[in-house]
Structure 1
Amino acid sequence: MSAQHAGDPATFAADVLDEGPAEIEFEPGVASRRPVKTSAAGALVRDSAGRVLFVVPVYKPVLDIPGGMTEDDESPKAAALREIREELGLDVRLGRLLVVDWTPRNGVWRDCHQFVFDGGVVDGAVACDPELRGVEYLTLDDARPRIYPSLHRRLTLAVTALESGTTRYAEFGRET
């Protein structure tokens, strides 16, 4: 079983066995011609005042939410949990999926499926990763000039999903 799997290890192992032997290519090269998509996952973490937790990365000029890119054979939820542990030193219990958002290619970055999970309420989080300058709790309005517009749209949908109990699907932060 993949160490990155966020579910029950015994169930996951049984599910893998139930799939049968690894699939082979009947038409050589067909798999290598398929596009490669990336995925990333993060968490909407709030403080007790309702402000959103943002991380301040050293590698880009904008704020982001805790989370990051998935690794090979890692689920989005497992990636979010791993990144939160690495970035903030927290072992949180992620709640439900709030938003799935597709973002188009941007410069060196491929198009990506972005997953936002409910990260619950955490007061007093601190950065503990050298990739971060720190953390800030901000309202979405206060964060708006310091985050990408698509992230602002995605997080607005995440707050709506949290309040409504309904997961949202978006493309570049716009619900479709």
Structure 2
Amino acid sequence: MNHAEPLYQRDPDAWQRHLAEGNARQPRKRVGADALIFDREHRILLVDPAYKPDWDLPGGMVEANEPPDTAVRRELIEELHLHLPTTPLPLLCIDWVPPHGPWDDSLMLIFDGGTLTATEVSMLSLADGELDDFGFYTADEARKRLRPYVWQRLQGALTARATGHTAYLHDGNSPT
């Protein structure tokens, strides 16, 4: 056997064990996926989680091995009975959130959920007990309901939607 051959060629099983060991030691990040959704009056859909002091964008945490766009679709169905079209959801914002309180760092994503028809809006309802309320709000009303860092993230997503350029943020701010 030629020992100059890479490990993955001379011993595929050893290579897989090597990869598994590396995967087990590498850090993990929490990932959240939210949706920016409008009604026909261009108001923003916000939700009032029962377990948080402030309003938020609809969405939630991504489960292990779940694509973020699948997670946001799952959360919308679970919380509001909202089924978005199966077309790809454009990614508007990636926000790296540094460690804070008991939490490690995380990546928070906002996808473009589009604009709902009046019929779709009328079909929204609280579904799983995680939310106390939901509603559509102007940007100024949203700013007053959201925590400052969520508002900054939302501003990045709104700018990205207007410009067609995905926002990359560090804790709600441009890293530059």
> Do the two structures share a fold, i.e. TM-score over 0.5?
yes
Matched to 1:83, the amino acid is E
The question of 1:61 aligning with 2:53 is answered yes
Q: 1:71 matched to which residue of 2? A: 63
Matched to 1:92, the amino acid is L
Pick one of 21, 24, 37 that aligns with 1:45: 37
The question of 1:102 aligning with 2:96 is answered yes
Give the helix-richer structure, 1 or 2. Answer: 2
Matched to 1:109, the amino acid is W
The structure whose Rg is larger is: 2
Moved over 3 A (4+): 20-23, 27-33
What is the alpha-carbon distance in structure 1 between the residues aligned to residue 23 and residue 127 of structure 2? 39
Q: 2:113 matched to which residue of 1? A: 119
Structure 2 unmatched runs, 5+: 1-11
1:145 positional shift: 3.0
What is the alpha-carbon distance in structure 2 between the residues aligned to residue 51 and residue 25 of structure 1? 51
Name the % identity.
38
Matched to 2:144, the amino acid is P
Matched to 2:111, the amino acid is F
1:36-91 deviations in Å (ceiling 9; x for gaps): 21101010001111111011110010111111101011011010010011011011
Match of 1:158, SS state, is helix
Kept in 1: contact 2:38–2:45 (CA 8 A): yes
Matched to 1:99, the amino acid is C
Kept in 1: contact 2:69–2:89 (CA 8 A): no
Match of 1:24, SS state, is helix
- Count residues in correspondence: 157
Q: Please, what TM-score do these two structures have when normalized by structure 2?
A: 0.80
Match of 1:65, SS state, is coil
Matched to 1:95, the amino acid is L
What is the alpha-carbon distance in structure 1 between the residues aligned to residue 71 and residue 115 of structure 2? 19
1:23 positional shift: 6.0
Kept in 2: contact 1:55–1:127 (CA 8 A): no
Distance 1:22 1:140, change over 3 A: farther
Q: Please, what TM-score do these two structures have when normalized by structure 1?
A: 0.80
Kept in 1: contact 2:93–2:110 (CA 8 A): yes
Structure 1 unmatched runs, 5+: 1-19
1:139 positional shift: 1.8
Match of 2:159, SS state, is helix
